[in-house]
A and B are shown apart, each in its own frame.
Chain A
Amino acid sequence: QVQMVQSGPEVKKPGASVKVSCKASGDSFPNYGISWVRQAPGQGLEWLGWIGTYSGNTHFAQKFQGRLNMTIDTSTTTAYLELRNLRSDDTAVYYCGRLEVAGAADFGGQGTMVTVS
C-alpha cells in the first residue's frame, strides 16, 4: 500500500501561517487527487478540501475560503496545505489522503499536529 508521509508537528502563534506537506511514498501519486481533513483534540473529523493530482483544481470547504490553499508538485509527488491567519481553534491533527476516485480518500499518513498558541 502506498503511504503518505507528512511533515512534522508545528507550533504557531495566532495570526501566523502554516504549511503542511504530504509526500507519496514510492513516488506514486494517486490518479484523482489529494484530500485533506483535520481533527481537533477529542473531536470528530472535519473535511477541508481536495486538489486534483494533474488538473490542480481545488475544492475547499466554504468556511476556509480566503485562508486555505492547496498546491501540488507532481515532480516530487508532494502535496501542500497552507492555512493562514491561524486561530486557536485551528489546533488539530491534519491528515492528507489519496483519492483514487472522487470523494473517498485513503488516509495512509501519520497526520501532522498543528498547535496554535
Chain B
Amino acid sequence: DIQMTQSPSTLSASVGDRVTITCRASQSINTFLAWYQQRPGKAPKLLIYKASNLQTGVPSRFSGSGSGTEFTLTISSLQPDDFATYYCQQYQGYPYTFGQGTNLEIK
C-alpha cells in the first residue's frame, strides 16, 4: 500500500496567517492527490483534486501544488471557518490511502 504522511500533525495559526501543510507519498503518485477539509461531526469536504485543481465552490485562498511524492496545501489568508482537520488522499494505486490528518487550530 502507498503510505501518505502529513506534516505537521497539528498547526497553530491566527486569522490572516498564510499556512502550508505538506503531504508525502511513499512512492510516486504523479498528481493523483486530493485534499479534504473536515470539521467536527461533518463529512469530509473536497477542496483540491489532481494535486492543484480547485473544486467548484471552494474559495481561491486554498491552493495545492506538487507532483511525484511531495505535495502542499496552502491557505493564503486564514479565515475563522478554516480551522479544521485536513487530509490528503492518493488515488494512484489501490487501496486509495489517506494521510493521518493535520489539525489546524487557533493560536
Same complex for A and B? Answer yes
A residues apposed to B, CB below 8 Å = 1, 37, 44-47, 49, 59, 61-63, 95, 97, 101-111
Contacts of A104 in B (CB 8 A): 34, 46, 49-50, 55, 89, 91
Interface residues of B in 54-91 (CB under 8 A from A): 55, 57, 87, 89, 91
What DSSP secondary structure best describes chain B's contact surface? Answer: loop
Cα distance, A102 to B101, chains bound together (Å): 22
Q: A45 near B57 (CB under 8 angstroms)? A: no
Q: A44 near B34 (CB under 8 angstroms)? A: no
Contact A45 B91, CB 8 Å, known A107-B43, A107-B44, A108-B43: no
Contact A103 B43, CB 8 Å, known A47-B97, A47-B98: no
Chain B, interface size category, equals: 20 to 34
Cα distance, A62 to B101, chains bound together (Å): 22
Please indicate which of the listed interface residues A46, A97, A104, A106 has the most CB atoms of chain B within 10 Å of its own CB: A104
Q: A47 near B95 (CB under 8 angstroms)? A: yes
Cα distance, A44 to B97, chains bound together (Å): 11
List the A residue with the shortest CB-CB distance to B98.
Answer: A45
Cα distance, A102 to B96, chains bound together (Å): 11
Q: B101 near A95 (CB under 8 angstroms)? A: no
Cα distance, A6 to B45, chains bound together (Å): 16
Contacts of A62 in B (CB 8 A): 94-95
Contact A106 B46, CB 8 Å, known A44-B101, A47-B96: yes
Contact A103 B49, CB 8 Å, known A46-B98, A95-B44: yes
Q: Pick the contact of B91 from A49, A102, A110 — CB < 8 Å?
A: A102
List the B residue with the shortest CB-CB distance to A103.
Answer: B91
List the A residue with the shortest CB-CB distance to B32.
Answer: A103
- Residue B22 CB within 8 A of the other chain: no
Within the complex, the shortest CB–CB distance from A40 to chain B, in Å, comes to: 13
Cα distance, A102 to B43, chains bound together (Å): 19
A–B Cβ pairs within 8 angstroms, 13 of them? A37-B98, A45-B36, A45-B44, A46-B98, A47-B89, A47-B95, A47-B97, A59-B94, A103-B32, A103-B49, A104-B89, A106-B46, A111-B43
Please indicate which of the listed interface residues B32, B34, B43, B99 has the most CB atoms of chain A within 10 Å of its own CB: B43
